[in-house]
Amino acid sequence: MSAAAAISGARLGHDLRVVPAALAAWAGAAWSVAHAARAPMLLAAAVLIVAALVHRRPVIAFPLLVLALICLGAALRLAVVDVDPLRSWAKEGRHVTAHVEVREDARTFGELGQAAAVVPVLVREAQSSAGAVRTRARATAFVRTEPTELVVGRRVVMEGRLAPAERSDEVATISVTRISPVRDGPWWWEASERVRQGIRAAVAHHDGPAAGLVPALVSGDVSGVDDALRDDFQRAGLTHLTAVSGSNLTIVLGAVLLLVRRTRRSGVVLAAALVAIVVFVLVARPEPSVQRAAIMGTVAVVAMGRGTRDGLRALAWAVIAVLLLDPWMSREAGFILSVCATSGIVVLGPPFTLGLERWMPSWVAMAIAVPLSAHLACIPTIAAISGEVSLVAVVANVVAAPAVAPATVLGLLGGLLALVIEPLARVCGSLAVAAASVIVAAGRHSASFDGAAVAWARPWWVLALLMPFVVAVILAVARRPLIAAGLTVGLLLGILRPPQTGWPPEHAVVIACDVGQGDASVVPTAPGEALVVDVGMEPGPIDRCLRRLGIHRIRVLVFSHADADHVAGWRGAIRGRTVDRVLVGPSGGPEIPGVPRATTAPGDVIRLGDVTLETLWPALSDDVAPAERNDVSLLQRVTVHGVRVLFTGDLGEEAQRRAMRTTDITADVLKVAHHGSADQSAEFVARTGARVATVSAGADNDYGHPTATALRLLRDHGIRWWRTDLHGDVAVVRDGDDLRAVTP
């Protein structure tokens, strides 16, 4: 459904009769897929009994019937998964030979030599020492090979070991050790793959992020979108452009309907729109976001053909349809964002537009109202996912929006022409890249502002409670041009130059950054410069921490060891900053383009003005198996104005004992090893003589870090401790001869 149609229809009033049923369906599906089949079956029976008792009150009975239907459907599918023989084989860890069909295109995850292609598959046949079975069960395969030929619809024979699945709709995961040559799938999937290859070929003669963005806009092919651009888009509120969604379908439908509008026959228009939706699914792949967009688009098209323009009712029916087909969608972040954005446009778009139309042209009012409505509705969900709220999303979307449709349509046209006339396809590809360059520029410039986003560490529901008040204020302000202009200017000034909050504090020795369940520490070496030890799992948190500290140059970036929760966020650390050099230990670390990297060893000393960095352990000659990577973490001591800080990586108890037998580990501040796990040496902690300790752990993490054992160990040795999961960023400050902790 287009934004304009949604807003236009909403002006006629909202039909709320189906909304309670959609909400009941959503809640029932989310609850059902998290339980065994028996629980939703019992709930469905109980709900049907209640519905029978209140059958004379349709307002209550209809949502109950929908809830029962959703629970019953989920229970049946869960039961089928539970009785599948592969489920028991997975528990036993059996080695199998499986004939599978690829459900979604393979995607590569990981780095540092541990990359694997993750391939959702449909198992049709499987053989093991327990016999042979025929089935149609979902599974996820992990393949350590080039995944380019593992695309939707193709069939392959995989050999590997089964393990229990992480999702309740799958029977197993398959760690693939051998794979047969890939066989082509049905003609329609092969045809769609040729179109996708054509889209890539149409822009292949261009380099840079804009060329990689075009396939993502058209077909959801993000293989050419680098992590830096993806991070910028997240900060700028443009993430939806790197994944196929309802907006992509709206553009395709708009182009098709524009071509057939002169027929003035509703049947022809409806048929053309439905064919466009089918082609859209084939080219963009039947992934959750594409299925969701297709179902909602179909409901909207049918609704328009029947003469109704009530977007909220169409959305409610779409939600019910999606959850009937796939109840697991209820827990997908993309589904939540899609529904929130659409409902925001339908409910908030009209009043925002009407308010702004009083003092600006209608098309300008709508251009502002649509992204503003969608963004406000999605803020709680985005904050829960990313831990931050974008302040530039509306402006970035307004700037990027005019280029999205040309880039999408021209990219698709280029892919089609590549099948017949390659030179003309390149012309379309060049025009698409030019349009995509505008989007890239909007994302990168918006994300570059210090105040582009604000961190949100509180629960998402706090924002959900605040949103009605925010909406009320915006509605009141939208009707008053002078106040609206003044607040807009104030917000822009705050984005360009955020107000100073007294952070970082003066005389800070070390700052433990709150990066969730990971490690990252910053030692200031000069104004705007720092030594950084580890960077956490995600790029966003470390980037925000360094922004708050005003760091624009990293003199030395240290990776204590190559675990992802210490190194995977490196792109956030270098975003918009200069990095002089990288130091790694025996387990290595990421290769940062253009930055010299060295492996440090005990005895190495680096001086950065008044800051000294010493490497204490481990020696490169130590023969430690890769499985013990935590225990080859770098043990380093930094001295800042006479205060000694000991960085311990993820060293375990045995490694701590080995280290203290070979080196001096005394310090004033201790970065507690391994996020405060119980694997600590009491003698090691005592020998440091530390007065203050920092513990880096994620709030409500699944590991129970920091453990009661580690905290008791610190308390028994008189060490004051602060933890990032409770206190956020923690700065240890020198106050005369004393050390104290300060938080923002």
* Among candidate residues 727, 202, 741, 724, the one with its CA nearest the CA of residue 513: 724
Alpha helices in 520-652 (DSSP H): 539-549, 564-567, 570-574
CB-CB contact of 184 with 156 (8 Å)? no
CA–CA gap between residue 523 and residue 518 (Å, rounded): 17
> Taking residues 560-578, what's their average pLDDT?
91
Q: What is the pLDDT confidence band of residue 308, given thresholds at 50, 70 and 90?
A: very low
Q: Which two tokens stand for residue 630?
A: 């935590």
Question: Which of 225-229, 444-448, 558-562 is the most confident on average?
Answer: 558-562
175: Cβ contacts below 8 Å, ≥ 6 apart:
142, 160, 161, 163
CB-CB contact of 642 with 615 (8 Å)? no
Q: Mean pLDDT for the chain? A: 84
Residue that has been written with the tokens 């003309």 in this structure: 424
> Taking residues 68-72, what's their average pLDDT?
95
User: Percent of the chain at pLDDT above 90?
Assistant: 38
- Choices 2.60.40.420, 2.40.50.140, 3.40.50.300, 3.40.190.10: CATH for 85-188: 2.40.50.140
pLDDT of residue 260: 67
pLDDT of residue 553: 95
Three-state SS for 678?
A: coil
Q: Which residue has the higher pLDDT, 444 or 596?
A: 596
- φ and ψ of 663, to 5 deg: -150, 160
Residue 569 clears pLDDT 50, i.e. is over it: yes
pLDDT of residue 3: 45
Q: Which residue has the higher pLDDT, 397 or 671?
A: 671
Q: pLDDT tens digit string along 6-52? A: 444 444 456 678 899 999 999 999 999 999 999 999 999 999 999 99
pLDDT of residue 300: 53
Q: How many CB atoms lie within 10 A of CB 724?
A: 28
CA–CA gap between residue 184 and residue 194 (Å, rounded): 12
Range(s) for CATH 3.60.15.10 in the chain?
508-742
Cα 176 to chain centroid distance, Å, stands at 26
Residue 578 clears pLDDT 70, i.e. is over it: yes
Question: In a 10 Å sphere around its CB, with 0-12 CB exposed, 13-18 middle and 19+ buried, how is residue 109 labelled?
Answer: exposed
pLDDT of residue 246: 59
Range(s) for CATH 2.40.50.140 in the chain?
85-188
Residue 378 clears pLDDT 90, i.e. is over it: no
Q: What is the pLDDT confidence band of residue 113, given thresholds at 50, 70 and 90?
A: very low
> Taking residues 309-323, what's their average pLDDT?
79
CB-CB contact of 345 with 337 (8 Å)? no
Q: How many CB atoms lie within 10 A of CB 650?
A: 22
Which stretch of DSSP H or E encloses residue 735? strand 730-735
pLDDT of residue 523: 96
pLDDT of residue 147: 60
CA–CA gap between residue 645 and residue 638 (Å, rounded): 5
Q: pLDDT tens digit string along 219-265? A: 777 777 877 788 788 778 887 776 666 556 666 666 666 666 666 66
CB-CB contact of 655 with 630 (8 Å)? yes
CA–CA gap between residue 121 and residue 98 (Å, rounded): 10
Per the document, the length of the chain is: 744
> Taking residues 706-728, what's their average pLDDT?
92
pLDDT of residue 197: 85
Three-state SS for 215?
A: helix
Q: How many CB atoms lie within 10 A of CB 226?
A: 14
Q: Is CATH 3.40.50.10320 the classification given to domain 508-742? A: no
**3-state per-residue secondary structure call for 68-126:** HHHHHHHHHHHHHHHHCHHHHHHHHCCEEEEEEEECCCCEEECCCCCCEEEEEEEEEEE
pLDDT of residue 500: 58
Q: Which two tokens stand for residue 566?
A: 């210490």
Q: Which residue has the higher pLDDT, 727 or 637?
A: 637
pLDDT of residue 11: 45
